[in-house]
Amino acid sequence: MTYPFQTIEAKWQQRWDEAGVFRIPDVAIDDNGKAKPNLYILEMLPYPSGQIHVGHVRNYTLGDVLARFKRACGYNVLHPMGWDAFGLPAENAAIAQNVHPQSWTLSNIEDMRGELQSLGFSIDWSREVSTCDAAYYRFEQKMFCDFLAAGLVERTLSWVNWDPQEQTVLANEQVVDGKGWRSGVAVERRRLPQWSLKITDYAEELYEALDRSPLRERWPDKVRTMQRNWIGRSEGAYIRFAIVGQQGEALEVFTTRCDTIFGASFIAIAPTHPLVESILASRPDLQEAHQRLLADITDEATLAQAPKKGLDTGLSVQHPFLDDTVLPVYIANYVTVEYGTGVLFGCPAHDQRDLDFARAYDLKVIPVVCPPEQGELTITEEAYTGDGVMINSPGLNGHSVAEAQAQVMAWLTERNTGRKGVTWRLRDWGISRQRYWGCPIPIVYCPACGTVPVPEDQLPVALPLDVDMSVAGNPLDHHPTWKHTVCPRCQQPAVRETDTLDTFFESSWYFLRYCDPHNTSQAFDPAIVARWMPVDQYVGGIEHAVLHLLYARFFMRALSACGYFEVPIPEPFSGLFTQGMVCHATYQSGDGTWLTPEAVEQRGEDWVLRGSDEKVRVGRAVKMSKSKKNTVAPSEILAHYGADVARLYMMSDSPPERDLLWSAGGLEGTGRFLNRLWRLATAQSWPTGAASGKLTAEGEALMRATHKAIHTIEACYEGLRFNAAVAAARTLFNALEQVAPKPEHAQVRRYALETLLRVLNPITPHVTEELWERLGHSTLLITQPWPSHDPAWLVEDSVVVALQVNGKLRGTVSVERGLESSQLEEMALAHHNVVKNIGTVRKVIVIPDRLVNIVATPRA
Ligand code: ANZ
Ligand code: ZN
């Protein structure tokens, strides 16, 4: 780089800091004495893993450009930052490196804060929040107690996903293909007392709101679809099947296909269903087989693929419409206890899982829906799940599936054996973690009083720091004193809950704390929150589509229910933007070892190990990750190019929602551009002289280009099309470069340059600020308003002229405005479609900039 980015960037970061320009008051007054509108722009808070990575740089630059732009547009912009500081990696690092999770976390925060600051983000650091700070988590302990009082927290013995390597319970979302999301080890099922949040109480509301404003307009469809699928609304029927020989006893199933009732050939119950216990009580012979079924249970996705297994209970139920038909009752591994009623009726002909099960246990397969163009249907190994015409179904034959469903529903209602109903796939949110580095759950177990929440005046329940991390399991269990306490109610000896909260609990409300970060008496003042919430624009990764983003939506509703707001604020994030990933090619040596980009070089067509002849395999570009060694460290980019180049490059290459393919060449090119801008602005003088008469055509063109740039870039920033904004800024730069620095151009050139600095300022704040100063300004560029454009200058300088022959339109031409009549006449007479239609020309009428009419004899 030829311009002194190092000194410039440090200088301006310090100046902004001294001027306190990013310290945001809750009410800001503009120059006219009016309150500026408040706006909240937020990026997802980082986990303090050690260093920021390129993905962070992209994410935070996106938010920062928008924040700086909106600020210039007159908003009082809240743009805070904090740390999602609890979690497993700190414990793992602590064990591996023999440091305390807290010191590991705090020193990472120091490092990462420094890196973020050197990128020049317009963050109000006075509002920084760290979730592992007792000053923060004491309030979530209070929330937990409030939720408990409101019936939104439950403690239940529940089947959980147990990660044998991490020695912890995982949320369903943390199980990927039957394996722990971090450990990659197959999860087991265990039954443990767990705390959970009743997110299912809000299933319908969370689902419906996805299709209401503002989410409908301002959240990506992709994310709304993912949430919709995750919440999983199914409309269907609940049907009761009477148990044969047990007067008044029935099994209730949930089905979305009541039309297939005549194809039912068995009933299946989930292995962990409460009913199973009573069935087994009278059938000790089945207990061993049942244990084997239990041992196999993993998550649903895996079970869907696994071989179908079950055991015959010996019970049977009566078919609701066929008096002489009874169905056997099985316990089956593919039925989940948490869905519907945990019981289903199997219809092998039309459900693949049921068919696999029927084949394994030799059960009947009765087709009841026939494909429309076929007269009959035989089922072999594949179930027919399509639409069709009813067969083998007394009273329904010949009807469509939809008609059959309506009819069966009517029959069920009539006989009082079933009802219409909706079921949701969403499960309650298990929040207990058997880990140390988290927020203690504020509960005491007393032999006399039972489960007692810790009263508010005894919060926080601080996490003890003197723990032994070398023993397996949760260090809080092994701590000699911490868990022994007295019961808040009866003052007798009692023990603390040693589980900690899922860290998603912390990230479900941090954005509220930013509004009022220093409040010591409550999580936040509702009046202050009302000034800022909801977040106007949230920016983060699509990987949070169903975890964090759903939990935060639930939290707002739960907090509303507990009276935390003046007026309920259902949605935390009005606008959501999910940026693409930063990708890079991968390199591997012959033996498959991953190689860093610095370790390889291109030689002709091939890639080789730097400084050797050893060939290297090049893989396609994938998300940068440490494991594949295809990362580029932001610290190195900063050292070689500086923050402005890094920021500009991040915004230049691809639309922000798409993946960005990292290229060293692209970064170079961006650096060259800023060097050129620097040279242009510093290598000559930029007099401020007053307007010197009429502009030349060249000057007018630059004037037009400048106003057009303002107009275009403004729209691009508004629409988060930052790459298009950069392209438009470069167009203006090129236009400016082409106009020679003659005295008659002085004014327009200076105007163009200043405009360029202003429109680029949100992306490259340091270099533009420096050049602004060098142009003689004593104000900070960051405090300048967004430039306005004059619509008069946007009028295109070309016009469309109609070409007529004897008053009839024969063509049009687009020409420069203000052409001479003779030039227009010449053009018209040369136009192919005019030539075709004229014989002898009598007269030519020209209305400049509009029309040429040729009066002529027809062509012979
Ligand atoms: C009879 C039937 C016939 C079904 C047929 C499907 C096809 P969705 O659409 O995802 O909501 N089911 C019900 N409870 C279940 C449980 N606890 N575990 C596993 N499967 C369960 O799925 C609804 C269908 O899933 C229900 O409709 C039921 O099988 C099954 F031709 O009932 B169906
Ligand atoms: Zn007690």
562 C-alpha to ligand 2 centroid (Å): 26
HSE, CB side, 13 Å, CA atoms: give it for residue 649.
26
236 C-alpha to ligand 1 centroid (Å): 9
Q: Which of 41-55, 519-533, 789-803 bottoms out in mean pLDDT, i.e. has the lowest?
A: 789-803
- Confidence at residue 689, expressed as pLDDT on a 0 to 100 scale: 64
- Average pLDDT value for residue range 605-628: 89
255 C-alpha to ligand 1 centroid (Å): 5
User: Residue 818 CA to chain centroid, in angstroms?
Assistant: 52
With 0-12 CB in 10 A as exposed, 13-18 as middle and 19+ as buried, what is 297? buried
Ligand nearest the Cα of residue 304 is 1
588 near 608, Cβ under 8 Å?
no
User: What gap in Å lies between CA 222 and CA 63, rounded to an integer?
Assistant: 20
pLDDT band at 434 (very low <50, low <70, confident <90, very high): confident
352 C-alpha to ligand 1 centroid (Å): 11
442 C-alpha to ligand 2 centroid (Å): 15
**pLDDT of 537-580, one tens digit each?**
999 999 999 989 999 999 999 999 999 999 999 999 999 999 99
Question: Which residue CA neighbors atom 12 of ligand 1 most closely?
Answer: 344
773 near 7, Cβ under 8 Å?
no
User: Residue 25 CA to chain centroid, in angstroms?
Assistant: 28
- pLDDT higher than 70, residue 300: no
- pLDDT higher than 80, residue 182: no
- pLDDT higher than 70, residue 479: yes
Instruction: Tokens for 824, please give them.
Output: 């227009």
Q: Which of 5-14, 124-133, 189-198, 254-263 bottoms out in mean pLDDT, i.e. has the lowest?
A: 189-198
Question: Which residue CA neighbors atom 18 of ligand 1 most closely?
Answer: 335
Q: What is the DSSP string of 697-723?
A: HHHHHHHHHHHHHHHHHHHHHHTT-HH
Q: Which of 39-53, 166-180, 657-671 bottoms out in mean pLDDT, i.e. has the lowest?
A: 166-180
Task: Write the CB contacts of 586 (distance below 8 Å, at least 6 apart in sequence).
Answer: 594, 618, 619, 620, 621, 622, 628, 629, 630
Ligand nearest the Cα of residue 445 is 2
With 0-12 CB in 10 A as exposed, 13-18 as middle and 19+ as buried, what is 850? exposed
- Average pLDDT value for residue range 491-503: 96
- Average pLDDT value for residue range 812-841: 88
Q: Give the number of other CB atoms < 10 A from CB of residue 161.
A: 23
User: What gap in Å lies between CA 653 and CA 647, rounded to an integer?
Assistant: 11
Ligand nearest the Cα of residue 490 is 2
User: What gap in Å lies between CA 361 and CA 355, rounded to an integer?
Assistant: 10
- Average pLDDT value for residue range 425-440: 93
- pLDDT higher than 90, residue 173: no
- Average pLDDT value for residue range 387-411: 97
- Average pLDDT value for residue range 669-690: 91
- pLDDT higher than 90, residue 323: yes
**pLDDT of 737-792, one tens digit each?**
999 888 889 999 999 999 999 999 999 999 999 999 999 999 999 999 999 998 88
User: What gap in Å lies between CA 350 and CA 363, rounded to an integer?
Assistant: 14
Look at the block and give the residue holding tokens 């089956």.
332
Look at the block and give the residue holding tokens 């809000």.
202
619 near 42, Cβ under 8 Å?
no
Instruction: Tokens for 841, please give them.
Output: 């020309």
Residues with CB under 6 A from ligand 1: 234, 254-257, 260, 270, 335-336, 339-340, 342, 344-345, 347, 350-351
- Of residues 203 and 597, more confidence is placed in 203
Mean pLDDT computed over every residue of the chain: 93
User: What gap in Å lies between CA 544 and CA 23, rounded to an integer?
Assistant: 29
**Ligand 1 atom index nearest CA of 338:** 17
- pLDDT higher than 80, residue 470: no
421 C-alpha to ligand 1 centroid (Å): 13
Question: Which residue CA neighbors atom 20 of ligand 1 most closely?
Answer: 335
Q: Give the number of other CB atoms < 10 A from CB of residue 417.
A: 18
820 near 55, Cβ under 8 Å?
no
Ligand nearest the Cα of residue 300 is 1
**Ligand 1 atom index nearest CA of 335:** 18
Residue whose CB lies within 8 A of the most ligand 1 atoms, among 255, 331, 368, for a mutation test? 255
- Average pLDDT value for residue range 632-636: 90
- Average pLDDT value for residue range 153-172: 81
pTM, entire model: 0.87
User: What gap in Å lies between CA 837 and CA 851, rounded to an integer?
Assistant: 17
- pLDDT higher than 80, residue 392: yes
- Confidence at residue 236, expressed as pLDDT on a 0 to 100 scale: 96
pLDDT band at 519 (very low <50, low <70, confident <90, very high): very high
